[in-house]
């Protein structure tokens, strides 16, 4: 079971991770984008931090929807609507819940991914965050089908997200600003897939450390 | 990094404070969420025009707010799209009861944020239509990219549509006019130097002393191709011919259909230029290129247009849609008809574009 408090800790830890990786994400964005992804995500999750205290006692759905709204209004660029939609749709999928079953967890990420695809009109292999989230979701689903426990399943999800992120390196970008540099986008890891991997890895690490300490 | 700034994180806020102090007769500035709007807004019964985009392209869009052009402009962080809460607040501030037209440049971020804002505004009972500008011929196809970027034609669309709104065009006619401008305009840009985003602190790409970047957008991003520096005449020819010889361009666009009450997708085609066309020729500085060089470019552009049978009936030369301090230029050609010429000549009174009033 993943609790409301676990989710809050995940979001707080994500803010720390994105701050630490702001320069790294921006460096990835420089050759194929406009060098602002790290700065934008850092600003976005700092805004999330400022909105969390008002909803920490609410259900997970409300916490995630608040996170999405905070990102939409503070990130800007494409990252704002994309990550905003991810968290808002994820929140709708688990509305009212104070705890998440394994099935809820799959539904949460599935709804988030669908939100991203709808507003971004993004397909797999377009060299976007979808290339990290989609395999992560499939791995999570498979892990639960294979009878793995939550932590093991989250580890497998994170591995898949990592592979998905790395798989963007040889891809030709077909969406977003990276698509404008044409062939030159080949050979660069996608910053959006990277931030998506970091967010999912932080979920795994948060749950792992909280369960280990319990 | 050498810039006339205080702190990188205060650049946009302090710029807006300066604009508010400099042009109180024209505009007011709203903070948190940030937007610039006409001092006399809302203008009752007139369709309002709202645009916006990342900062760093000044004078676009804030410098185009005023009678005869935009009703409001939403500035994002530098090179980053503004957010839906800014657009929604601006929309509510300037809606004079006749609806609001969004002029949106084709960038994933701008499209998604304006899309969310339009949906929110409609939920609050305000009629909103949006038209996309995608005129950058440096992007060849729309199948493997997010399509052509919105560049120079945006400035011309804002001027012409602004005049039409003053004349009393209704929302639907204004959107139709904007789409007509969109399919008749084409642009291409080049850079001699990169630019530096204050919060990043170093240039967005590296360019050798003897190199240039052809087919750039307006966000300091690298272009389509890097090559050895050439003369002004050769560069002008490269840009102008890319525009004039560009084949018909087809793409799928998404707009809101008021009858269906939903977003719909349809195909839009830009016809190529042909001898006999009347055009507006727009030579634009990317920020760091001085007028003296722009006129050298215009001189050659005029010669090429004449040779190709295009008649330049109006022109615009200067710094209007920029990438911070980047050196380089863009050329835009817009096919004009009588309606567009009359609206282009109509009075406009903004910080950056002003004639007739």
Pair B152, B234 in one domain? no
* 8 Å CB contact of A72 and B204: no
Provide the 3-class DSSP secondary structure of residue B25: coil
Q: Which chain B residue shows the shortest CA-CA distance from A24?
A: B200
The proportion of chain B whose per-residue pLDDT surpasses 70, expressed as a percent, equals 99
User: How high is the pLDDT of residue B323?
Assistant: 96
Residue B175 has pLDDT above 90, yes or no: yes
Mean pLDDT of B283-295: 98
Q: Note if B61 is an active site residue.
A: no
Query: Residue A165 — left, alpha, or beta (φ > 0 → left; ψ -120 to 50 → alpha)?
Result: alpha
Number of domains, chain B: 2
The answer to whether A17 and A198 are in contact (CB under 8 A) is yes
Q: Is A44 on the interface with B (CB under 8 A)?
A: no
Whether B204 and B58 map to the same domain: the answer is no
CB pairs under 8 A between A and B: 111
pLDDT tens digits for range A26-42 = 999 888 877 789 999 99
Are residue B102 and residue B151 in the same domain, yes or no?
yes
At residue B250, does pLDDT exceed 70?
yes
Q: Do A33 and B109 touch (CB under 8 A)?
A: no
Q: Is residue B83 part of a domain?
A: yes
Residue A212 pLDDT exceeds 80: no
Model pLDDT, residue B272: 98
Give yes or no: residues B211 and B149 share one domain: no
Chain A residues near residue B222 by CB distance under 8 angstroms: 31, 181, 184
Instruction: Decide: helix, strand or coil at residue B252.
Output: strand
Q: Residue B144 pLDDT > 90, yes or no?
A: no
In angstroms, the CA B112 to CA B134 distance is 15
Is the pTM above the cut of 0.80? yes
Asked whether residue B125 carries a pLDDT value surpassing 70, the answer given is yes
B81 in the same domain as B144 = yes
Q: Check whether residue B169 and residue B284 sit in a common domain.
A: no
Count of positions (residues) in chain A: 214
Give domain status of residue B65, yes or no.
Answer: yes
pLDDT surpasses 70 at A57: yes
Domain CATH for B318: 3.30.1180.20
Residue B69 pLDDT: 98
Residue B348 counted as domain residue: no
Q: Are residues B171 and B300 in the same domain?
A: no
pLDDT of residue A213: 59
A31 to chain B, any CB pair closer than 8 A? The answer is yes
Q: Do B137 and B218 share a structural domain?
A: no
Please state the rounded mean pLDDT for residues A100-120: 95
State whether residue A118 sits within 8 Å of chain B by CB: no
Q: Is it the case that residue B345 has pLDDT exceeding 60?
A: yes
pLDDT range class, residue A7, cuts 50, 70, 90: very high
Contact B37, B65 (CB under 8 A): yes
Closest-CA residue of A relative to B79 is: A34
Instruction: Tell me what pLDDT residue A182 has.
Output: 75
Q: Is the pLDDT of residue A214 over 60?
A: no
Give tens-digit pLDDT for B197-217.
998 898 988 899 999 999 998
Put residue B126 in one of left, alpha, beta given phi > 0 → left and psi -120 to 50 → alpha.
beta
* pLDDT at position B239: 98
pLDDT at A180: 73
Q: Using CA atoms, how far apart are residues B179 and B268, in angstroms rounded to an integer? A: 9
Q: Which residues contact A54 (CB under 8 A, 6 or more apart)?
A: A66
Q: What is the pLDDT of residue A31?
A: 83
* Same-domain pairing of B262 and B180: yes
Residue partners of B306: CB distance under 8 A and separation at least 6: none
The answer to whether residues B194 and B179 belong to one domain is: no
Q: Extract the runs of DSSP E, i.e. beta strands, from chain B.
A: 27-30, 35-38, 48-55, 72-78, 100-105, 128-133, 185-191, 211-214, 225-228, 249-257, 262-270, 278-285, 311-318, 328-335, 348-349, 354-355
Whether residue B302 lies in the annotated active site: no
DSSP reduced 3-state for A42:
helix
What is the domain extent for residue B25? 9-184+249-269
Between CA A189 and CA A195, with CA A191 as vertex, the angle to 5 degrees is 120
Domain boundaries defined on chain A: 2-213
Task: Report the CATH fold assignment for A2-213.
Answer: 1.25.40
Q: Which residues of A touch B109 (CB under 8 A)?
A: 76-81
**Looking at A195-209, B33-47, B50-64, B253-267, which range is the least confident one?**
B253-267
For the cut 60, the answer to whether the pLDDT of residue A144 exceeds it is yes
Shared domain for B77 and B162, answered yes or no, is yes
Sign of CA pseudo-dihedral B205, B209, B211, B213: positive
| φ and ψ of A165, to 5 deg | -60, -45
Please tell me the distance from the alpha carbon of residue B190 to that of residue B236, in angstroms, as a whole number.
10
In this structure, the answer to whether residues B161 and B294 fall within a common structural domain is no
């Amino acid at each position: 079971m993943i609790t409301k408090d676990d989710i809050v800790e995940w979001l707080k830890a994500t803010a720390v991770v994105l701050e630490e990786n702001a320069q790294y994400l921006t460096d990835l964005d420089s050759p194929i984008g406009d060098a602002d992804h790290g700065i934008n995500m850092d600003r976005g999750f700092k805004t999330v931090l400022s909105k969390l205290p008002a909803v920490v006692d609410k259900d997970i759905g409300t916490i995630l929807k608040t996170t999405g709204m905070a990102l939409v209004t503070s990130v800007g660029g494409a990252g704002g609507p994309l990550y905003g939609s991810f968290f808002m749709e994820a929140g709708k999928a688990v509305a009212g819940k104070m705890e998440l079953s394994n099935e809820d967890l799959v539904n949460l990420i599935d709804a988030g991914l669908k939100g991203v695809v709808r507003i971004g009109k993004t397909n797999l292999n377009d060299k976007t965050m979808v290339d990290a989230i989609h395999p992560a979701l499939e791995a999570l689903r498979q892990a639960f089908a294979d009878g793995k426990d939550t932590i093991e399943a989250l580890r497998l999800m994170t591995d898949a997200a990592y592979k998905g992120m790395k798989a963007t390196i040889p891809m030709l970008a077909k969406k977003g600003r990276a698509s404008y540099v044409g062939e030159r986008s080949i050979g660069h890891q996608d910053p959006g897939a990277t931030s998506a991997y970091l967010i999912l890895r932080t979920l795994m690490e948060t749950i792992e450390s909280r369960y280990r300490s319990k | 990094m050498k810039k006339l700034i205080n702190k990188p994180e205060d650049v946009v806020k302090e710029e807006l404070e300066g604009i508010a102090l400099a042009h109180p007769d024209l505009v007011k500035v709203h903070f948190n969420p940030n937007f610039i709007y006409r001092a006399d807004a809302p203008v009752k019964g007139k369709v309002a025009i709202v645009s916006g985009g990342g900062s760093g392209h000044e004078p676009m869009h804030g410098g185009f707010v005023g009678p005869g052009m935009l009703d409001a402009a939403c500035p994002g962080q530098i090179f980053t799209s503004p957010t839906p809460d800014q657009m929604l607040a601006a929309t509510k501030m300037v809606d004079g009861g006749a609806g609001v037209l969004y002029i949106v440049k084709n960038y994933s971020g701008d499209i998604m944020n304006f899309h969310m804002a339009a949906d929110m505004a409609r939920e609050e009972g305000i009629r909103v239509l949006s038209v996309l500008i995608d005129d950058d011929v440096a992007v060849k196809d729309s199948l493997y990219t997010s399509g052509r970027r919105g560049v120079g034609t945006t400035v011309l669309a804002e001027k012409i549509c602004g005049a039409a709104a003053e004349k009393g065009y209704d929302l639907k006619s204004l959107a139709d006019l904007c789409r007509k401008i969109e399919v008749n305009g084409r642009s291409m840009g080049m850079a001699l130097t990169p630019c530096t985003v204050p919060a990043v602190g170093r240039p967005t790409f590296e360019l050798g002393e003897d190199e240039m970047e052809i087919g750039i957008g307006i966000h300091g991003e690298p272009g389509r191709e890097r090559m050895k520096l050439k003369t002004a005449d050769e560069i002008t020819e490269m840009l102008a011919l890319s525009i004039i010889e560009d084949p018909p361009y087809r793409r799928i666009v998404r707009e809101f259909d008021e009858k269906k009450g939903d977003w719909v997708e349809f195909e839009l085609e830009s016809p190529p230029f042909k001898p006999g066309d009347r055009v507006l020729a727009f030579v634009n500085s990317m920020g760091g290129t001085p007028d003296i060089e722009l006129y050298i470019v215009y001189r050659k552009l005029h010669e090429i247009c004449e040779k190709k049978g295009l008649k330049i009936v109006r022109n615009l030369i200067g710094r209007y849609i920029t990438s911070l301090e980047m050196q380089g230029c863009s050329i835009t050609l817009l096919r004009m008809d009588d309606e567009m010429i009359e609206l282009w000549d109509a009075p406009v009174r903004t910080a950056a574009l002003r004639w007739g009033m």
